[in-house]
Amino acid sequence: MALLKLSRVQKIYKQGSIEVPALRGIDLEIQPGEFTTVFGPSGSGKTTLLNLIGCLDQPTDGTVIFDGRDLGVLDKKALAEIRRESIGFVFQSYNLIPVLTAYENVEFAIRLVKRYSDNELRTRVMGILEAVGLSGLEHRRPNELSGGQKQRVAIARALVKEPKLILADEPTANLDTATSEEVLDVMVKMNQELDITFIFSTHDPKVMEYAHRLLEITDGRISQDKRREPSGALH
């Protein structure tokens, strides 16, 4: 069964009397374990698409089925629960809590979702921080970390609850090329080891090399959808 199925999805933003069509009929299926890149120029609809998939917004028309559930018929509480339990987010600007350490940012995310004993919790958080390459930096606050390190904390925070899906909206846009590649290697590794489905957006051709599936969006429509062997590192 597809993890995600979008049918005839449209999104029109209203600004006063002006209507801005951001998505103009998206049909898309994503299978569990896929590592997909959504690319296209600025304004083509990438963020809008990820927000609809991530229950952060709702379509004007069409349906989004996530893990067998039609998001259009769920109330706010049920949507918030899916977002919290089943979806991890990674943003361009990291969105870490500045007063919390790397460790605490990750711990905070898992405390919202699952109950662990103090020992289990600590083992899990330390394990995931190690997996993303942050051993020794657990006690630093975001302003004491580089951009790449901050994005690793954000990835750890998304991963720690073992979501079905991770959505990453231009996760490498603020990083230099070498750091982008390191951050992507972490995501590829987690995709392979934990079988978590990833969808990330970018307009960086280097980033696209990592994907198994390339979806191009032009003016709110899918203009290209192809699967191929990734050429990025680790493959």
Is residue 53 within 8 A of residue 69, CB to CB? The reply is no
Contacts to Mg ion by CB under 5 A: 46-47
The answer to the question of residue 44 lying near ligand ADP (CB under 6 A) is: yes
Residue nearest to Mg ion (CB): 47
Torsion of CA 173, 80, 54, 10, to 10 degrees: -130
Which of these segments, 41-49, 89-97, 147-155, 225-233, binds ligand ADP (CB under 6 A)? Answer: 41-49
- Angle 202-83-9 (CA atoms, 0-180°, nearest 5)? 60
Give least dist CB 137 to ligand ADP, A: 31
CB of 72 to Mg ion, least distance (A): 23
Enter the tokens of residue 78: 């049920």
- The item of ligand ADP, Mg ion, none sharing an interface with residue 80, based on CB under 5 to 8 Å by kind, is none
Determine how many CB atoms are found less than 10 A away from the CB of residue 8.
Answer: 13
Instruction: Give the C-alpha separation, 32 to 29, whole Å.
Output: 10
What is the distance between the alpha carbons of residues 162 and 178, in angstroms, rounded to a whole number?
A: 27
Q: How far is the CB of 60 from ligand ADP (least distance, A)?
A: 12
Of 6, 9, 45, 210, the one binding ligand ADP by CB under 6 A: 45
Considering the complex, what minimum distance in angstroms separates the CB of residue 230 from ligand ADP? Answer: 22
**Residues interacting with ligand ADP, by CB under 6 A?**
13, 15, 20, 22, 40, 42-48
